[in-house]
Amino acid sequence: MGTLENAAASVEISEPLLQPVDEETKKRDGDLLDEEFIPDWKDQITLRAILVSAVLGVVFCIITHKLILSNGIVPSLNVAAGLFGFFFLKFWTTFQSKFGLSGRPFTRQENTVIQTCVVACYGLAASGGFGSFLLAMDEKTYKLIGEDYPGNRAEDVKNPGLLWMTGYLFIVSFLGLFSLVPLRKVMVMDYKLTYPSGTATAMLINSFHTNAGAELARKQVSCLGKYLSISFFWSCFKWFFSGIGDSCGFDEFPSLGLTLFKNTFYFDFSPIYVGCGLICPHIVSCSFLLGAIISWGFLWPFISQRAGDWYPADLGTNDFRGLYGYKVFIAISLSLGDGLYNLIKITAISIKEMCKIIISQKDLPILEEVLDNKSSKSLLEGKKRDGVFLKDRIPFWFAASGYVGLAAISTATIPIMFPPLRWYLVICSYIIAPALAFCNSYGAGLTDMSMATIYGKMGLFTFASLVGSNGGVLAGLAAAGVMTSIVATAADLMQDFKTGYLTLSSAKSMFVSQLIGTAMGCVIAPLTFWLYWSAFDIGSPEGPYKAPYAVTTRQLAILAIQGFSELPKHCLAFCLVFFVAALVINFLRDVAPKKVSQFIPVPIAMALTFYIGASFAVDMFVGTVVLFVWERLNRKDAEDYAPAVASGLICGDGIWSIPSAVLSIFRINPPICMYFVPS
């Protein structure tokens, strides 16, 4: 979740008219430019960087799956990737030097390569559909919706399989990387898009490789390690009391009383969500809690009292014709309202800025400007970045032939995997995908918000309705995967190009790092997902891994074919109200003064709690309160160390998932069941 950047993109004047510079200034500036040695692009990608990236890729994929499968929220882990990369390589080089082994110096370019590989790898765990469109195809989700539910056919079922999921990712995940490569100069240098997350990561990596920054990085790594250990051992301790089933342990601790516990309001001592609260903006965490209060505090108890009137009272807890239907469809309405508004807004901003650029190019005045030493230094640094970024070119023919070749392979193989998605529909998706990828990448550069899932849902609706009732659900879900993958990876690549531009890394090394990271992700993401799939009851509404987006995504596909006829009484009216409310709230966030808009909630954050419950919202609120108090006591310390503390809490709990899953696979159960009942 990002904030709108109020800086307009501008076109670079490639040949500014400057005052003559004396010889002394030229010499001084020449020394400045030659101060840092920049390795060749091949030397930036080292074997040790790839090995470290693979290890971190496994860890980050496990963390991402845990978050996706439990509540569907994955905060940006780019900073953590940069920090962990620095820690591992520093440890590597220090270890070598202690034993008198010679090795190449650790550069910021190598640090950037690690960060790029890791983000590309865990990005596939996030956008690969393991918690949404791929999981929505499985038999459990089919049965959860109801075998007799109109439009929900047994023929539209494809259970997860390690081999076909790995092959599917290899087929669709690389296309996004080739779709926008020729536009890297336009997006990064000409339009000067900010890509806030990429810029922040670059600033962090640059700071690590200065004397002062290295000292701060050492303290941050120490802090991260401490809280990672605390989180890991606390999660281990909790396991001993979690018993058999889903009703035991600290995860079911009625910390706010048994009455609120029945409505999912309790603090479950989960380090991973407290960490998310520390790393997310305050308004996002507060929006989660507000959504939980509105839904689980008022709306669901109100609708429950109408059982027998608005819907049959004897329905199961997961029957879409009852209360469960209200939960899912109102959450979908809020999400769609938020997504549609932001899609229109970002598109409008993009068109407006592009028009400004065209006009400024046409009417560009020729100016002479006298530069002081500071401006001259800034200009020279900019020229140095431009030179490094443009030095190693990626030919247009290579990008175009790569995209066409991969599209041809995909067109031939995807219909074999998903027969309802015909070859001509696959070709249509690949024809329109680059345009959508450009829109998403441009919008992400301005706002730091990727709308990949919204574009995926557009593809789902379009192709499901085109195919119709005979296979439309499976075709829509498969098409959503294709569109989401291309649009998401293209935006990630442009963000990494921005990071590479600011860290003086070669564009070619960034592209190759993305290819390596994506290849790793195609193997690691399915393997780590399979660990969860084999060990836990994924998709159970009563368990810790509810996979909320699997049910809602399949329902969207059914809705595209079947319409609204089977919704419970007044459900459509509620959906319309919350859809309009999402539009209005977003509009108010944009037009209100900043001192007011910072207190207006985020609808899509509110929507998640409507379906999955309030407990994780309470955890995140605890995290954001800790961060708020910390900022009031010492803002600089909070800015320096809060991301490290959050990353440690998230990673420690995530890493514990590995031994926990192994114990579960071998049927080793916790020895104690701690639970609470009224006295």
Q: What distance in Å separates the CA atoms of residue 559 and residue 566, rounded to the nearest whole number?
A: 10
Do 41 and 223 contact (CB within 8 A), yes or no? no
* pLDDT value, residue 331: 84
Q: What distance in Å separates the CA atoms of residue 390 and residue 25, rounded to the nearest whole number?
A: 26
Q: What distance in Å separates the CA atoms of residue 478 and residue 414, rounded to the nearest whole number?
A: 8
Nearest to 429 by CA among 474, 485, 346: 485
* Tens-place pLDDT, residues 408-458: 999 999 999 999 999 999 999 999 888 888 877 877 776 566 778 878 887
* pLDDT value, residue 36: 66
Between 110 and 36, residue with greater pLDDT: 110
Q: Where are the beta strands (DSSP E) in 8-67?
A: 17-18
* pLDDT value, residue 244: 76
Specify the range with the lowest mean pLDDT, choosing from 38-42, 249-253, 306-310: 249-253
Residue 17 has pLDDT above 60, yes or no: no
Burial class (CB in 10 A: 0-12, 13-18, 19+), 671: exposed
* pLDDT value, residue 8: 29
CA-based end-to-end distance of the chain: 44
pLDDT tier at 31 (50, 70, 90 boundaries)? very low
Residue 323 has pLDDT above 70, yes or no: yes
Q: What distance in Å separates the CA atoms of residue 3 and residue 76, rounded to the nearest whole number?
A: 14
Between 238 and 380, residue with greater pLDDT: 238
Query: What sections of 294-367 are H helices per DSSP?
Result: 300-304, 323-362
Do 488 and 125 contact (CB within 8 A), yes or no? no
* pLDDT value, residue 1: 38
The residue assigned the tokens 């699997």 is 550
Between 504 and 213, residue with greater pLDDT: 504
- Partnered with residue 368 across adjacent β-strands are 17
Q: Which tokens hold the place of 308?
A: 């027998």
Specify the range with the lowest mean pLDDT, choosing from 340-354, 550-564, 594-608: 340-354
The residue assigned the tokens 């505090």 is 297
Between 508 and 457, residue with greater pLDDT: 508
Residue 198 has pLDDT above 70, yes or no: yes
Q: How far is CA 298 from CA 234, 293, 295, 599, 612, in A?
A: 34, 7, 6, 21, 15
- Phi, psi of 343, rounded to the nearest 5 degrees: -65, -45
For residue 167, the tally of other CB atoms under 10 A from its CB is 16
Q: What distance in Å separates the CA atoms of residue 652 and residue 629, rounded to the nearest whole number?
A: 23
* pLDDT value, residue 246: 67
Do 444 and 460 contact (CB within 8 A), yes or no? no
* Tens-place pLDDT, residues 167-182: 999 999 999 999 888 8
The mean of the pLDDT values for the chain is 83
Specify the range with the lowest mean pLDDT, choosing from 17-26, 59-68, 475-484, 586-595: 17-26
Region 254-274 average pLDDT: 89
Q: Is 242 helix (H, G, I), strand (E, B) or coil?
A: strand
* pLDDT value, residue 162: 94
Q: Which range has highest mean pLDDT (117-126, 377-386, 533-542)? A: 117-126
Residue 552 has pLDDT above 50, yes or no: yes
pLDDT tier at 521 (50, 70, 90 boundaries)? very high
Q: What is the pTM of this model?
A: 0.76
Q: What distance in Å separates the CA atoms of residue 309 and residue 322, rounded to the nearest whole number?
A: 11
pLDDT tier at 35 (50, 70, 90 boundaries)? low
* Tens-place pLDDT, residues 461-473: 889 989 988 999 9
Between 196 and 253, residue with greater pLDDT: 253
Q: Which tokens hold the place of 523?
A: 């193997």
Region 233-252 average pLDDT: 85
Region 4-32 average pLDDT: 35
* pLDDT value, residue 362: 57
For residue 32, the tally of other CB atoms under 10 A from its CB is 14
Region 263-270 average pLDDT: 89
* pLDDT value, residue 18: 31
Residue 510 has pLDDT above 80, yes or no: yes
Nearest to 298 by CA among 567, 610, 618, 621: 610
DSSP characters over 413-462 = HHHHHSTTS-HHHHHHHHHHHHHHHHHHHHHHHHHS---HHHHHHHHHHH
Counting residues of the chain whose pLDDT is more than 90, the rounded percentage is: 34
